[in-house]
Structure 1
């Protein structure tokens, strides 16, 4: 007969378990699958430990699930995190279930193979949004090159990013109040674009400078990683949930989990939330492109970004192909055909979707975007955005989606 843990003890054990799971999963890579801003002594304790055996971590997950001292939304959120941790640890030795089931266990959604007819519709949308001349892939790549920051102006990139941060922040504040003392630093980095909230109203927006920067994507990237995307969500949930509601579990966020699906879905919708219609293109033209002498080519930025969001589904299909053991050349051909990426991008993507955990991770983008799209298309859209930024919304609340779990 079990004795239910006191909430404070349970939450301590949960935080320590999340740190141990992260250490077990990333001990050979030096990366992380955990966003942690909890007690420093717990982090130090786990840092000094040897990695725990997977079987022990799996049993610890099961124990905390059995001894859950909370109910309702709080219990559902924590249970989703624990199930994801358990699945990831169980799959770390290669003994994973089929990818669809593995993704369901980790992400809490029915992440299935998407029919190519979905991508064909997105291709038709791109066909109408891009300047004419050549294959669709060639036209998309030419569009990206048209709006590339000129090499002799590359020193201006931090300034341009800060302009975009200021604008996206101001527009986000029209939806939800933000702390006046928020400070966001822009750092150029060879890694992927990413937004990191350090706590204490301080954040860093890392912008990839190892490839040419497409300025037509500037607001798309900054809104996703910053406001109203990842930085805004992390900061506002710290304020509203940890500081305001006394829910310390929101300082411990396992990244490959149901909450991640919603975070990445919000990120892909972020630009359109604060720049509806053609507002992003008009702002970029007036404030970034024209001052740099970059002339418009008649393209429709909003339609292009919307179609490219759909094409994340092709990346998910590539993960299924990789899980089936298909050869690299076949996956490269698939991605260049349907995701419209370059050969070099496709070869990088193959390595990405063959990396354990990343095949699940990539599925979260398309399915997060897909799940949120009908839910945000609502008369109370602003209120729903505020909820995503300040509350632990559950996937089961997205009633418009027939595949919800």
Structure 2
């Protein structure tokens, strides 16, 4: 009698839930059957070696599962990332660059200081005046700071305006909703906790000031058309309609993270596009909160190449052996930020769970923005971007599409 093929999607979900028992927060979201999670919680405590071996076993069973090609490719990437995480948890030596490649399907190189210097020169022209560029940039950022007691109001106003845009452009389930809360003592600026049934809780970290010109990106990233929108559309499409169980769990340090963060960082471009600065200034002006939207948009474009500095910092820390003080100085020099902000970035880069995660923002944005720009002539941005919201694309699949252009 021939044994039935293993239900790889179900076993992948169980495996992901077991990782969360070893590292709380490894499961970013779970919207599946509560009985599955309860069964996993009742199992004997997992070991990193056991999780590693199970990931390898499931990788070996994928071919026999006879899944559609896109489904098999998605699971292969996810399981490869999990296998590497288990090896790291067990104390096996894994080189940082190999770790990143296993998690996110990208190869890292250090950024070009010449590109950073060019960004500095462009910013210097946009912010004339006395004092060093670092001082003038800091003064610009201070002028844009949102008063702490108005942060919640500003976030709500931008969320409502973006939600209207996204509903019209992409469509959302009728019942979807996002609630916001302001928190402190976190290594990130914002976090989406997707609760299932089209509901999200978004935490905004008030440890460092938020700028009015940055808030549209934060809200678009976490909610509309970023993480919340993606979760809603995939829950409705891939889970409810297509019965793809693997999309009931979202796991840290896997290829889907690079896709999710890349698309979320494209949120303003995909919902507002050129002119987002004046658009946001008009929304916030109704609250009596004023900033120069035209300048904010030009400054954001000028400093965009400096986003890669954060990834350089991770490589210097974890691959090149630099110490924290050296890396903090590197961040301050090229990102033109304060010592406090550089140290906040180091918190994220040295967190055991998040140390490689910065790559999802840097490489995710670069990969997906290049892919979005490579759309066929005449195709609207929305027609391309909606594929990121709805399809189980992987970094490797997107790279192949770009190579075929």
TM over 0.5: yes
Which of 361, 368, 372 is equivalent to 1:365?
Answer: 361
Taking a change above 3 Å as real, the CA distance of residues 130 and 225 of structure 1, as seen in their structure-2 partners, is farther
- Structure 1 runs of 4+ aligned residues shifted over 4 Å read 399-402
Taking a change above 3 Å as real, the CA distance of residues 293 and 241 of structure 1, as seen in their structure-2 partners, is closer
How many Å apart are 1:10 and its aligned residue?
A: 2.5
Which of 235, 243, 258 is equivalent to 1:238?
Answer: 235
How many Å apart are 1:287 and its aligned residue?
A: 2.5
Which of 95, 99, 102 is equivalent to 1:102?
Answer: 99
Is 2:171 the counterpart of 1:174?
Answer: no
CA deviation map 1:155-188 (0-9, x unaligned): x432321211111112222321112322221211
Taking a change above 3 Å as real, the CA distance of residues 293 and 231 of structure 1, as seen in their structure-2 partners, is closer
| Aligned-partner SS, 2:213 | helix
Distance 2:29 2:51 in 1: 18
How many Å apart are 1:105 and its aligned residue?
A: 0.8
Is 2:41 the counterpart of 1:44?
Answer: no
Distance 1:139 1:361 in 2: 30
Distance 1:235 1:282 in 2: 29
Which residue of structure 2 aligns with residue 398 of structure 1? 399
Given that 1:77 and 1:394 are in contact with CA atoms closer than 8 Å, whether structure 2 keeps it comes out as yes
- 1:2-401 superposed matches below 5 A: 5-6=5-6, 9-24=7-22, 26=23, 30-68=24-62, 69=65, 70-150=67-147, 154=149, 156-190=150-184, 191=186, 192-278=189-275, 280-289=276-285, 291-292=287-288, 294=290, 296=292, 300-323=295-318, 324-377=320-373, 378=375, 379-380=378-379, 381-395=381-395, 396-399=397-400
Paired residues in the alignment total 390
How many Å apart are 1:3 and its aligned residue?
A: 5.2
Given that 1:196 and 1:204 are in contact with CA atoms closer than 8 Å, whether structure 2 keeps it comes out as yes
How many Å apart are 1:295 and its aligned residue?
A: 5.2
Given that 1:96 and 1:102 are in contact with CA atoms closer than 8 Å, whether structure 2 keeps it comes out as no
Taking a change above 3 Å as real, the CA distance of residues 340 and 65 of structure 1, as seen in their structure-2 partners, is same
CA deviation map 1:33-73 (0-9, x unaligned): 44221221121222233431222111100111111112411
Distance 2:9 2:295 in 1: 48
Distance 1:204 1:196 in 2: 5
Distance 2:128 2:274 in 1: 19
How many Å apart are 1:195 and its aligned residue?
A: 2.0
Structure 2: gaps spanning 5 or more residues: none
Distance 1:256 1:103 in 2: 8
CA-atom RMSD in angstroms = 2.2
Given that 1:18 and 1:34 are in contact with CA atoms closer than 8 Å, whether structure 2 keeps it comes out as no
| Aligned-partner SS, 2:11 | helix
Identify which range, 318-327 or 40-49, moves more after superposition: 40-49
